[in-house]
Structure 1
Amino acid sequence: MTHQTSPKSTILERSRFSLNELPSAQRFEVWKDSINCIYSVDADRRTRREDFVADLDSWRHRDLMMVEARSCAQSFLRTSQMIASDGMDHYNVQLYTDGAVKSDAGLGGDVLKRGGLLLLDLAQRTEAQSSEQFNSVHLFLPRRLVEDHLTNPDDHNLRFLSERDPMVRMLFSQILSMHRHIHEFNDTQISVLQKTIVMMLSTCLNSAKGETNTTRALRQDIEKGVMIRRYFRENLLSQELTAETAADDLGLSRSSLYRLFKKHGGVNQYLRDMRLRHALKLLTDPTECRRSIYDIALECGYETDAGFIRAFRAKYDMTPGDVRAGHVPHARHRDDERIDKRYENWLHTLA
């Protein structure tokens, strides 16, 4: 009897970012420009000038994304301005197989050791530093997949989960194994693994000490912001969605709603950016390739494709047609075709 194996994933995407083909003097600036899609980075002069390396092995499967990173000592910063600009609302779970990361603002610790995990909330400010040389794996999960399972979903930014906890060690192994063997799984198996990881992560976080003096002081605005963003996600494509209807439905005053989204350029700007990110996701989705740009414009709240194209170009510095042709937004060094920067686009369209 012939043994039949299950079909592998039909929608898994993979990319490899590497600076190896560039002269040493150019590498750090190219890296800094690329990773600025999520973090602002800096390194000392010697690191920047002498054989700087940065390799990213990334894959994406629907709303799940992982990146294996290898690089040098540097600082990572995610500012309030970056949060307001890109609107990313993901959790980033990190593990290190070599080297370490530390943060003076860490919860439950300040240095990540092998076997432990670090959770970053990309809707909150983050600052950390990596060791001299490191290898790390980063799991990105949209907030909506995790927050309903958490007792305090907004209290875990820079949460260090100790390797002394057996559940944390099991989750560490699960994430690492999934990343290394992802090409062997079919789509159903990957979806099952994603749900398993979400539940294990939620268990680890719920058993951690959630509230601190800092998060307690910020809780009211954070919880309101999460509630509003969830409402916007669920009603994004409704033609009736406006700042006024949102305030009424959520039982908030309009002034309170406007204050919470002032850093995003206002409620209307935030909604426009969300709809354009949704459009970007549709334009890069192979299953949506037969849809016309006009049809996508209508779904995203634009009455004409001309108005949609103008707004899209203003945000991404390229047209919807450019994206359909394979160009990648956010990659400013477009003159160097040797570097695969698709991971940037994946981060911005993960939803």
Structure 2
Amino acid sequence: MIETVFRCDELPRADRFDFWREQMAKLMAPMEMSTEHTADFRGQVRILEVGPAHVWPTKFHPMTFRRTPKLIRQSDPELYHFSFLEGANLQVSQAREEAAHSAGGLYVVDTSRPYDCVAFGGPPQGVGLEIPKALIPVPHDRIDRLLARPIPGSEGVGALLTGFLSRLSADSGSYRPSDGPRLGAVLVDLATALLAHAAESEDAVPPETRQRTLFLRVRNFIQRNLHDPQLTPAAVAAAHHISVSYLHRLFRAEETTVSAWIRQQRLDRVRRDLDDPGLSAVPLHELAARRGFSHPAVFSRAFRAAYGMPPSDYRQLALRSRAPDAPPWRPARGEPRRQASSLPERPAGVIDRQCTLPCS
């Protein structure tokens, strides 16, 4: 991904707000801006180019934005701008709708129509998302009903979108430029599904978008319920009101089965726990039980098959790798001798971070 960062803290105080206003007009859309903090204005923005979408982690002093008909005629990028507020109080008005928003809130505005936004209280902080209107297949007259109004961001598809934005913002340095188009497609799908759901226009969403969104919801559900030993394909399918056979078809494109994916997610979580020095005193069977393994022997066999050594040896090697002056690691009786300089390689496709879904 391409990332651009600008902040005005290092400029002379008298120049900061003018600089901010100029940059925002270039990077977003021309707007009238005013603030009571011109003498000591502070603001920072990162712009992540994610395929056709742009993600905006930002924080700034309270101010007022106004998009007027004149400025729209001057320049209109024809975008839907989503705002997820992580710490803010805003009053937003557009299309004869006016609503107050606070931390945890989510709303959308249309850059082709006039709007006002007043930030007050503490410094607003959050993540913006801009997507070309042409990429959203939901009828625009349906979306018009949603403009400026609060959209649930802590449940359902809204939680998927806000969680994805937060994780993407936090991990931006971990991605390659080639990841941008794929991550951008996920953002467009989630935004489309959210608007369609909020506008009760699911019939307007292409089948492939509905299927990809459902797959993300299923994966998120699994990751949030790994602790449950009764997390089976049948339970996952029932929670999403689909058949088990359809659930298996969703995972077929991933070249794995539902059960195998659940098992690997559990193993990966336990492996991370074994890497954590703060959990070194927790018995292995307890760590396994926390991740849904109810039978220690089954867990031990699965771990050895996945990582090439028993979990006890993995923990010992992980802890000793963090202690450079410790004596050499010795394998358990009957185990082949291994190099202590590095931990075993993970199976292909297993990563520490799920880059396409917010992890719990």
- When normalised by structure 1's length, the TM-score is 0.50
Aligned residue number for residue 259 of structure 1? none
Deviations 1:165-193 (A, max 9, x none): 43312221111112222332345543333
CA distance in 1, matches of 2:168, 2:128: 12
Task: Give the fraction of aligned pairs with identical amino acids, expressed as a percent.
Answer: 15
Deviations 1:293-316 (A, max 9, x none): xxxxxxxxxxxxxxxxxxxxxxxx
1:174-323 paired onto structure 2 within 5 Å: 174-186=164-176, 189-209=179-199
SS at match of 2:103: coil
Shift of 1:209: 5.0
Shift of 1:105: 4.7
SS at match of 2:137: helix
- On the 8 A contact 2:6/2:44 being kept in 1, the answer is yes
Matching residue within 27, 33, 43 for 1:41: 33
Aligned residue number for residue 54 of structure 1? 43
Deviates more, 1:145-154 or 1:170-179: 145-154
Deviations 1:42-68 (A, max 9, x none): 112xx111x210111112144221121
1:6-21 paired onto structure 2 within 5 Å: 12-21=1-10
Amino acid at match of 1:72: H
Deviations 1:231-273 (A, max 9, x none): xxxxxxxxxxxxxxxxxxxxxxxxxxxxxxxxxxxxxxxxxxx
1:121-136 paired onto structure 2 within 5 Å: 121-131=110-120, 132-136=122-126
SS at match of 1:147: coil
CA distance in 2, matches of 1:128, 1:177: 26
Q: Does 1:98 align with 2:90?
A: no
CA distance in 1, matches of 2:16, 2:117: 21
Amino acid at match of 2:67: R
- On the 8 A contact 2:146/2:199 being kept in 1, the answer is no
Distance 1:43 1:152, change over 3 A: same
Shift of 1:89: 0.4
SS at match of 1:133: coil
Aligned residue number for residue 16 of structure 2? 27
- On the 8 A contact 1:88/1:122 being kept in 2, the answer is yes
Amino acid at match of 2:165: I
* Structure 2 residue runs without a partner (length 5+): 202-360
SS at match of 2:171: helix
CA distance in 1, matches of 2:183, 2:139: 16
Shift of 1:102: 1.8
Matching residue within 41, 45, 62 for 1:73: 62
SS at match of 2:136: helix
- On the 8 A contact 1:147/1:153 being kept in 2, the answer is no
Aligned residue number for residue 114 of structure 1? 103
* Structure 1 residue runs without a partner (length 5+): 1-11, 212-351
- On the 8 A contact 1:124/1:157 being kept in 2, the answer is no
Distance 1:150 1:188, change over 3 A: farther
Shift of 1:127: 0.5
CA distance in 2, matches of 1:196, 1:30: 33
Shift of 1:14: 1.6
Shift of 1:147: 3.5
Aligned residues: 197
CA distance in 2, matches of 1:43, 1:154: 29
Shift of 1:161: 0.7
Aligned residue number for residue 128 of structure 2? 138
Aligned residue number for residue 161 of structure 1? 151
Amino acid at match of 1:70: K
CA distance in 1, matches of 2:43, 2:115: 21
Aligned residue number for residue 214 of structure 1? none
CA distance in 2, matches of 1:90, 1:32: 19
CA distance in 1, matches of 2:143, 2:93: 21
CA distance in 1, matches of 2:127, 2:182: 20
CA distance in 1, matches of 2:133, 2:158: 20
SS at match of 1:161: coil
CA RMSD of aligned residues (A): 2.7
Deviations 1:64-106 (A, max 9, x none): 2112111111111111111111121011111121223222558
Shift of 1:150: 6.5
Shift of 1:24: 1.2
Shift of 1:142: 0.9
Amino acid at match of 1:41: M
Higher RCO, Cα 8 Å, sep 6+: 1
Bigger Rg over Cα: 2
SS at match of 2:46: strand
CA distance in 1, matches of 2:140, 2:179: 24
Amino acid at match of 2:159: R
Shift of 1:204: 2.2
Deviations 1:22-49 (A, max 9, x none): 11122122222332342221112xx111
